[in-house]
Structure 1
Amino acid sequence: MEKRKKKKSEWFDWVKALLVAFGLAFIIRMFLFAPIVVDGPSMMPTLHDGDQMIVNKFTYLIDEPDRFDVIVFHASAQKDFIKRVIGLPGEHVEVIDNVLYIDGEKVEETFLEKKDGLYQTLTNDFSLENLPGEYEVIPEEHVLVLGDNRGNSTDSRMIGLISMDQIVGKTSLIYWPLDRMQTIGE
């Protein structure tokens, strides 16, 4: 009889441990970190199609996005996009002859691929006023995002500014494939 009780108690302990583990995994996945797979070439050369990354979901609960953060956001109810933050609230953004200007000041984009000193990824000229919404400055609680592959990216130039409510989180760690494992920054 004692043996049966001990076996039942052991089995119950295992079930409790598994429930706690699944509960913690659920909480971590829902509120802290989540995996995402890069879909398409819009962030080349920084990110490649099929790269698997970790999204930090809580960082923007305690901090605001910084220029050049790579973020994941809800582009629609069915689709999340990965893009780079270029413009922040209160700023005016424009690109003229492949040069980024924030509030009239030239800003270097070191992450864009250059060959022989020239950008291989051309950015068609645009100004904040030409984008959907026709803003003069980026409103509070919004950011302007662009893909690193400017010639092949659906970003703020087409879909408009991104509200903070749409942002899922920041991503900076590629964990798969192993030969591309790295952290990304500017």
Structure 2
Amino acid sequence: MAKRKSEWFDWVKALLIAFGIAFIVRTFFFAPIVVDGPSMMPTLHNGDQMIVNKFIYDIQQPERFDIVVFHASDRKDFIKRVIGLPGEHVAVEDDALYIDDEKVEESFLQERKDNMPSYQTLTGDFRLEELPGEYETIPENHVLVLGDNRNNSTDSRMLGLISMDQIVGKTSLIYWPLDRIQLLHE
């Protein structure tokens, strides 16, 4: 009888440890997220399931074109692409991205741009000064984010700059559905 109690206790202890480790990993390191909506098409599809690396920005700064998850409100997280970094000026003119007046290629948008009629643009013209906050350069601890589906995305053009405190983490792995499994890069 004592042996059965000991086995039962060992199982309970093992389950508690497993749940504790899972809780710590999910809370501090990695978490799943489901893409909701078309704002990152064609890179991400509605319903794609991804893993968010929650600790990456504790050891390094965001880089241009990282795909990040951030708190847009108390109840809603958004997934967008980092376009502008602290200290930079961002503008889009004639569907071309300019960082500090230098043209920057967005290769992830090229196929979409090539398939659009010549009279249509993917990204409407804007300058950083015209966005909420009216900054001349992006302040420290902030980034400018845009969705890849530029004409159907709620991003920094409406929300303003995103503070590092709002960022949950970086995502680059689609793990579901099976036919979409991939590691994303620029």
Give the TM-score range, shorter chain.
over 0.9
Aligned length: 183
Q: Does 1:104 align with 2:127?
A: no
Larger Rg over CA atoms: 1
Per-residue deviation, residues 24-62 of structure 1 (Å, max 9, x unmatched): 000000000000000000000000000000000000011
Contact 2:89/2:99 (CA < 8 Å) preserved in 1? yes
Q: Label 1:164 to 1:119 Cα distance change in 2 as closer, same or farther (>3 A).
A: farther
Q: Label 1:114 to 1:139 Cα distance change in 2 as closer, same or farther (>3 A).
A: same
Where in structure 1 are there 5+ consecutive unaligned residues? Answer: none
Give 1:32's match in structure 2, choosing from 21, 29, 32: 29
Per-residue deviation, residues 112-158 of structure 1 (Å, max 9, x unmatched): 14258365761000000000000000000000000000000000000
Q: Which residue of 1 aligns with 2:174?
A: 174
> In structure 2, what residue type is equivalent to 1:152?
N
TM-score by length of 1: 0.96
Give 2:47's match in structure 1, choosing from 47, 50, 62: 50
> In structure 1, what residue type is equivalent to 2:2?
K
After the TM superposition, which parts of structure 1 deviate over 6 Å for at least 4 consecutive aligned residues? none
Contact 1:74/1:167 (CA < 8 Å) preserved in 2? yes
Structure 2 distance, partners of 1:141, 1:116, is 31
Contact 2:83/2:144 (CA < 8 Å) preserved in 1? yes
Structure 1 SS opposite 2:107:
coil
Structure 1 distance, partners of 2:115, 2:96, is 11
Where in structure 2 are there 5+ consecutive unaligned residues? Answer: none
Q: Which residue of 2 aligns with 1:160?
A: 160
TM-score by length of 2: 0.96
Structure 1 SS opposite 2:28:
helix
Q: Which residue of 1 aligns with 2:18?
A: 21
